[in-house]
Amino acid sequence: MPTYTYETIPENPEEEPRRFEVVQRMKDDALTHDPETGLPVKRVITGGLGYLGGKSGPSSTGGGSSGSGSGCSCC
């Protein structure tokens, strides 16, 4: 099961949001509130493993000849 990262949405804009991780099934609905504080939350998109498939060799993320230099094949 994947681990999802969530971040609280504080009522006071000067307050730091709290980040936490939750292991959930992919078909589970995203959380709407922090289980500890009850504050509303949003799911945070974080970096993944980087496997794109379709390339041969030991690494699929190694810098190809893309213009961005990021190693992705999207640019």
- pLDDT tens sequence across 10-46: 999 999 999 999 999 999 999 999 999 999 999 998 8
Instruction: Compute the C-alpha angle 36/42/44, nearest 5°.
Output: 110
- What local confidence, expressed as pLDDT, does residue 35 receive? 94
User: What average pLDDT does the chain have?
Assistant: 81
Average pLDDT over residues 61-68: 52
Joined together, the tokens standing for residue 36 give: 């500890």
pLDDT higher at 6 or 50: 6
Joined together, the tokens standing for residue 27 give: 């078909």
The strand order across the sheet containing 19-23 reads 19-23, 3-8, 41-44
Q: What is the DSSP letter of 44?
A: E
